[in-house]
A and B are shown apart, each in its own frame.
Chain A
Amino acid sequence: MGKRISYVVAVLLLFLWGSCRDPFEPEVTNADISLLVVEGYIETNGEESTIYISKTNPIRSGSATLPVIDASVFLISSTGEEWSFSETDSGTYSYTGFFDIQDTYQLGINLTNGKQYLSEPMKPIVTPEINELNFLRDEAGVEIFISTKGTDEAQYFLWDYEEHWIFRPGVISFLKFENGAVSKREPDERIDLCWSSNIFPKIILQNSARFADNTIIQRELVRIPNESEKLTQRYSIKVRQRAIDQATYDFWEILRKNSDDIGGIFSPLPSLIGGNIKAISPETDNAIGYVSIGQSASQRIYIDYEDVQPWRIFIPEYEFCFVLADTIPPNEAVTAFNNIDRVPAREVFDGMFFLGYRAATKKCTDCTLRGTNRAPGFWED
């Protein structure tokens, strides 16, 4: 709530008084402090558990992430039982199995350079089920909300989500120019319908203790603004709900404040970030990150255009897309389309008589430039 207060205050000032936000690159150090970063959630009920291990980059560094490879990652129970994770992708370590939710566990990490880390003991928390994941159409767009009910053991909630949606390019074309000739696209070559996704979403946190019976009703997760392409045809969101302990909640809250809530007029000052992964080898800094263990709950919903119509769509990338007026005779197709920019968009007929093609830009016709024309594996029509 404090966050919301400062947000609205900042926003009002922003609009009222001609304040503005300009891009700015302050002088900061380029020294590489290279701290270990550990992220992960260990699933107790047979779903895949994944631990991501990386290192920090200097703030100016161009590369986004520095995965830590060939580390030895393992989980130990309080009784000394040990499970080893295997590296499935660089810096990604996985294990699939069942763990006793009554026990406590520690995650161990040994790096190839000899540095060793061990987490504080973690107690599994079973996440209550999602009661409702639904949406509401209002004048500002569509709000997707969640309702759940916490318990005395599971009061702090963390949600993350993945969004996928169908969109269409500015100009629909079923044609292609290939091997010096224009031809019809096969169904698996279509570029007029694509899926886009948002898998870098915000973290949403909520403490249910503030509400009667730990009940969270209609907590807003995502807002789809009016004119968004997300509701062109069909949209899907999968929400993962995790109950976490207070320390983990505080960690995520700091993380969120430090990145989302910074720089405003009444924004809190940045906080130091820590974690529950402690260094055990000498001369090693503690790692950043909070790993927790438990059983998550997930749910997926679909929203169709019909559910929210009328829904006008505006895609800035396609704002100036149109089919060019000139008709290109078939004999000039090679010269017209043998480049990376111009593509055939329409066949032009005069009655039964084929005149040639009208062209459009590739940017306007090819949706695969902004997405994929393969439906995601889970997708249901």
Chain B
Amino acid sequence: MNRLIILLVFFGICFIPKSWAQETIRAEERISGLFPGLSFLRFAQQVESQTSYKFYFSPVDVADLIVNISAKDNTIRQVLDGVFDGKDLKYSIDEKNRIFISKGKALDTSLPLDFFTQVSELEKDSILRQSDIDRAFSRNKLYVIGKAENSGKTEAVLRGKVTGLETGNPVFGAVIFEKVNYTRAIANQDGQFEIKLPIGRHTIFIQNLGGFVEQRQISLQGDGVLDVAIEENIISLSEVTISSEKMTNISRPEMGVQKLNMETMKQIPAILGEVDIIRSILTLPGVQTVGEASVGFNVRGGAADQNLILFNHATIYNPSHLFGLFSAFNPDLVESVDLYKAGIPVQYGGRLSSVLDVHAKYGNDEKITVRGGIGLLTGRISVEGPVGEKTTFALGARSTYSDWLLDILEENTDFKDGRANFYDLNLNVSHKLNDKNIIRLNTYGSNDSFGFDRDTTFMYQNRSINLGWTHYFSDRLEGEFVAGRDHYQFEIEGRDNPANGYNFGFGIKQDFFKANFSYEYDLRHTFTFGLNTIRYGLNPGFIQPAGPESIVIPEEVNPEQAIETSIYIGDNFEVTDEFSLNFGMRYAIFNYLGPNTVREYKPGLPISPPNLVGETTFNNGQSIKTYSGPEFRISARYSLNNISSIKAGYNTNRQFIHLLTNNAAIAPTDIWKLSDPNIRPQWGDQVSIGYYRNIKVDKYEFSVEAYHRNMRNLIDFRSGATLILNNAIEQSVLRTDGRAYGAEFLLRKNTGKLNGWISYTYSRSLLRTAQDEMAEKINGGEWYPNNFDQPHNAVLVGNYALSKRFSTSINANYSTGRPITLPVAKFNYGGSERVYFSDRNAYRIPDYFRIDFSINIEGNHKVRKLAHSSWSIGVYNLLGRRNPYSVYFTPVNGILQGYQLSIFAEPIPFITYNFRI
């Protein structure tokens, strides 16, 4: 007996969490009778004989206690309270109606829930979380109440009990109401309520006076019961963090999706002090780049042109300024960024590797806000806010004033007339016509122009405009219609001497229309379907004489036209709560259109001039070649429990537009090419599988994903390929197969003073000249590494908030050196030592390692001040490590020398001032 008590005390103190230590509320037996001047022992015996209660006590404790009480239908508690009134004795009653009497402190009689089933840390976490989720879920979950009867009843009675969430006590006076007819009921002393409602769906609100409003979605089909637990506490104002996305990693069916919001991106130390979207996504697993200052990024072993970059529906062909030093997106206008690496939603298509969907702001609807920033090289300003009640806008501009830097350099360099300028402009407007219709206008323009001497000027620009209309056909069906135009071009003005003056240029114009629908069929099915069409017009290159003295012959590669149309349908199917399936199909049709002249070659022989059979000329609008085919997007998620899930996916993609680049990095002067009869569309598929788990109530997020990709009809180039002003580009390319595989590990800490993530990626990306490509076999037709094949990649992004005003960020980046082709032999030719290259990409440059550091200082928190300001100070490449971009041999005075070229060879400090009015 005593041992049991001791044991119970021990467990009561050590293991029982407070919330579970409540006494069980149950129907109690009633006691009636007169107990005049009995010893406690006698009293106990009498009660025991009358009821099922058993008493346990130490006789010493009750030795001098006399019971003098009269009871009539009283509970044992009422009786005992009377008996022990004013005494130093306490009692407790357990489930088996055993009453323990003790001196001073009541015994805790309940066992911890895990007393017999030892709960692991993991499960505890899961349970803790479940209570969290349950609350969020139960607000929106549809409770089906009652049995449907075909008795023609139109109303039903809903009964229930309102209890406190923490105490479990009945909440007296809680108001239960629904807002359509304002039917209401009030809970009685026991928390019981009864309300009569029409059969059908209702939103029930439950409110304790001065407390939270709880809500329940119900589908009332007949009389029934709904018990509700509500918060009793008075609301106190505190910071609210909305963390709706935490769960999505586990629960969303797609995989390979990375979301970054602006707050996260702001914490990554940026080069030159400006938040940079492209650089931010480079910190994510599976995203790599061939080197610093390069325009493109590579997703899961795919080439840079295999990324579809969307900025509020506009396709951005060149997402950078100043050859990749800045990305083309004004950070003040960006809301968030989604990167789809694998589970590309069915509404997107046209690229093999990824979709980078950049969402821009439309402005808040409360007040006009001005933001801006001033850095060493760039300045930006943006205005957003409401115009009237129904319209909001966001307007932004950014420009550089880097000329002063070139001016400083002048004395030491030859750049007397060097200049580099860029700007970009955004205007986004959203107008709500009524509850069912919203119209959005997106415009974007960017311009880069730079020159290094007085002779040559380069410029490129993006121009985009589109208009979208979102219409809610019903509660379940939503439609979005977007029409717009994107334009990208670059131009080089050569003014070497009057006789050779030229303008060289390239341009893409695309007109597009999208219709996307989303239909919530029922609770388990959500359908998406729609149609996308793009009309391409490419000017693949022209050169024109500039000035009257120029003898340059104007030349133009035949313009190209095509229409790419795709229809798609997908279903997000929640098979069970644990298992959900997202599957869809997209059918793409590509028509290469006239006017154009296409060349035919003897089948089965290399595509080269000797095998040219003839040329066919097509008229305006005539269909020259049609490619079509389905694309599949399937992904499935199975929740192991509410903190972990596994996912698998398979998708295929087709790509009809190709970037022709014979460099490792994308140059601003690379041109795009449409698929034509001789250049087939690229095709790729991907199988992926992943495991996701959240640890410590979402504090940590862990994921591992593995993938394997096959790609066909990629483009590699023959030796000495000429890409510019080449009308017969098919004679310079090699059809190539690709293969990529890898695994990505990510551990992320989302909350707390210290947050950030660490990721490791193992990945390979290999190419092989297609088996039936006759013209040339790179590396003898064997697999060779892609230019951006960097097997090991590790990234650490860490932020530490010292206080509300000071925070520090660090970004460390390691990757295997990229592959490079090195010479294996040398010889003398043309009066100089020359090199003979062997296998493509057989060597690697040294490994890459870089650390960036930044400090963000928020201005003071005074309420009355002109502007909210913040400073960002930091150093890019803190260690000053000379990470080589390339390694090569070049003859110096006829003798070969080995060199390595580093781009950011020194630590680069930066400072930026940001403000918000």
A interface, CB within 8 angstroms of B = 1-2, 4-6, 8-9, 11-13, 15-29, 31-35, 37, 39, 52, 54-59, 61, 64-65, 140, 160, 199-203, 209-213, 215, 217-218, 250-255, 257-260, 262-274, 288-289
Contact = CB atoms under 8 A, between A and B. Distances in A.
B829 A39 contact: yes
A334 B831 CA distance: 45
A262 B888 contact: yes
A268 B662 contact: yes
Contacts of B845: 26
Contact of B890 (A28, A263, A274): A263
14 contacts: A5-B492, A6-B669, A23-B900, A24-B898, A33-B836, A140-B414, A210-B543, A254-B720, A259-B835, A265-B294, A265-B323, A266-B669, A269-B717, A269-B840
Nearest to A39: B829
A269 B664 contact: yes
Given A12-B415, A212-B553, 7 more contacts: A2-B723, A26-B822, A56-B825, A59-B896, A213-B551, A269-B663, A288-B829
Contacts of A289: 829
Contacts of B667: 5-6, 9, 265-266
A17 B824 contact: no
A210 B898 contact: no
A96 to B, nearest CB: 22
B355 interface: no
A33 B825 contact: yes
Contacts of B456: 4-5, 8
Nearest to A58: B825
Given A26-B822, A28-B843, A265-B294, A211 B828 contact: no
A55 B409 CA distance: 45
B908 A20 contact: no
B623 to A, nearest CB: 33
Contact of A258 (B418, B458, B835): B835
Interface stretch (B130-138, B746-754, B878-886): B878-886
Contact of A57 (B826, B891, B893): B826
Given A212-B552, A268-B662, A255 B831 contact: no
A18 B293 CA distance: 12
Contact of B415 (A15, A35, A61, A274): A15
B283 to A, nearest CB: 21
A263 B886 contact: yes
A263 B887 contact: yes
B827 A54 contact: yes
B452 interface: yes
B825 A57 contact: yes
Contact of A26 (B492, B662, B829, B843): B843
B290 to A, nearest CB: 10
A19 B887 contact: no
Nearest to B906: A18
A222 B406 CA distance: 27
B837 A200 contact: no
Interface stretch (B191-199, B380-388, B497-505): B497-505
Nearest to A252: B830
A273 B887 contact: no
Interface residues of B, number: 90
Contact of B323 (A2, A13, A271): A13
Interface string B889-910: 1110111111111111110100
B405 interface: yes
B832 interface: yes
Contact of A211 (B551, B669, B834, B899): B551
4 cross-chain pairs, A with B, having the tightest CB-CB distances, nearest first: A263-B888, A56-B825, A271-B719, A24-B900
Contact of A56 (B413, B553, B836, B903): B836
Contacts of A23: 897-900
A212 B901 CA distance: 39
B420 A12 contact: yes
A24 B899 CA distance: 5
A9 B456 CA distance: 11
A263 B899 contact: yes
Nearest to A256: B830
Contacts of A264: 886, 901
A217 B830 contact: no
Nearest to A23: B899
Contacts of B822: 26, 28, 59
Contacts of B405: 16
Nearest to B666: A266
A267 B664 CA distance: 8
B887 A259 contact: no
Nearest to A249: B720
B762 to A, nearest CB: 23
B578 interface: no
A200 B832 contact: yes
Contacts of B888: 262-263
A277 B414 CA distance: 43
A64 B828 contact: yes
A8 B827 contact: no
Contact of A33 (B420, B553, B723, B824): B824
Contact of A160 (B831, B897, B898, B903): B831
Contacts of B95: none
Interface in B416-465: 418, 420, 450, 452-453, 456, 458
B551 A215 contact: yes
Chain B CB within 10 Å, residue with most, of A160, A217, A252: A217
Contact of A265 (B291, B414, B720, B827): B291
A270 B664 CA distance: 10
Contacts of B836: 33, 35, 56, 273, 288
Interface string B705-743: 000000000000111110110000000000000000000
Contacts of B721: 271
A12 B452 contact: yes
Given A265-B903, A266-B665, A26 B887 contact: yes
A255 B504 CA distance: 25
A154 B906 CA distance: 49
A37 B827 contact: yes
Contact of A16 (B409, B662, B891, B895): B409
A269 B450 contact: no
Nearest to A25: B898
B555 interface: yes
Task: Pick from B719, B827, B886, B900 the residue with the most CB of A within 10 Å.
Answer: B827
Given A5-B492, A8-B456, A18-B904, A272 B719 contact: yes
A28 B824 contact: yes
Given A259-B890, A273-B837, A218 B497 contact: yes
Contacts of B884: 24
Contact of B824 (A2, A55, A58, A254): A58
B833 interface: yes
B720 A271 contact: yes
A251 B898 CA distance: 23
Contacts of A218: 497, 499-500
B827 A270 contact: no
A156 B822 CA distance: 29
Contacts of B294: 265
Identify which of A12, A212, A274, A288 gathers the most chain B CB atoms within 10 Å of its CB.
A12
A55 to B, nearest CB: 7
A265 B665 contact: yes
Given A17-B293, A210-B543, A9 B323 contact: yes
A255 B873 CA distance: 47
Contacts of A209: 553
Nearest to B377: A16
A255 B826 CA distance: 12
B530 interface: no
A272 B825 CA distance: 12
B264 interface: no
B821 interface: yes
A334 B840 CA distance: 64
A12 B450 contact: yes
Nearest to A273: B836
B834 A65 contact: no
